[in-house]
Amino acid sequence: MPAPLSSSVLVERLLDERDLGEGYVRQPQRAERHDDVSVIGCPALEELDGEAAVGGSLTFAQRAKVSFTYVGDGGSEVSEELYSDTETRLSEGVARIFEAMTSCSTYRVLGGSTSVTVTARKALAARLGDERWSQLLTFSSGGRSSIVKQTAVRTGTVVVVVSGSPGLVDAHLANSFYKVQRTR
């Protein structure tokens, strides 16, 4: 069985502006803090830690992440995360989180004084890799809403997660997957 890849190797396999094409600007990585986040109305998510419950980074030791804004479409965003661990840990961990996030069609996420209603549903994922998961999340707060697609594909000891505007996720998932495959 192949060994998990190190975070430094994963960083080398992340998409970059050349892979995406014109109009993409790399975003600086921000420290994600979800300490004061709580989920109401979805018992399966309430059991997960705050970061996973709101679509944050998964808890695998080896990981790398990059985010881009597509300036040609009013600032749509797309991010890519790569994780590496044993095939079994990846499969079980990703399945548990995706199943929890889609187990309740609607729930609320409270962060400080902000309440966001989340509507989640499973989505179709491209036929790539050994396993795949996909979901559409609609975030509504203060009369505004946004839709985020999140798709994960496991190929051996690596999971590729692409999140963001549904059109951008669909456009770049295969690029991400094949870049991981090419450099194995």
Establish if 151 belongs to a structural domain.
yes
**Is the pLDDT assigned to residue 31 strictly greater than 80?**
no
State how far the Cα of 126 lies from the Cα of 166, in Å rounded to an integer: 13
Q: What is the mean pLDDT of residues 170-179?
A: 95
pTM for the complete prediction?
0.90
The range of the structural domain enclosing residue 109 comes to: 7-182
**Is the pLDDT assigned to residue 12 strictly greater than 90?**
yes
Distance of CA 152 to the CA centre of its chain: 7
- Of the two residues 46 and 155, the one the predictor is more confident about is 155
The total number of structural domains that make up the chain: 1
Q: Please write the tens of the pLDDT for every residue from 49-75.
A: 655 555 555 778 799 999 999 887 677
Percent over 70 (pLDDT), the chain: 89
Establish if 61 belongs to a structural domain.
yes
Question: Between β-strands 131-141 and 144-155, what pairing exists: parallel, antiparallel or unpaired?
Answer: antiparallel
- Of the two residues 84 and 40, the one the predictor is more confident about is 84
Contact predicate 138/119, CB 8 Å: yes
Q: Please write the tens of the pLDDT for every residue from 104-153.
A: 999 998 888 889 999 999 999 989 999 999 999 999 999 999 999 999 99
Establish if 2 belongs to a structural domain.
no
Establish if 1 belongs to a structural domain.
no
Lowest mean pLDDT among 1-5, 93-97, 144-148: 1-5
CATH of the domain at 169: 3.40.1000.70
Establish if 66 belongs to a structural domain.
yes
Q: Tell me, what's the pLDDT at 57?
A: 58
Q: What backbone torsions phi and psi does residue 21 show, to the nearest 5 degrees?
A: 105, -175
Q: What is the mean pLDDT of residues 67-85?
A: 88
Of the pLDDT bands very low, low, confident and very high (cuts 50, 70, 90), residue 2 is: confident
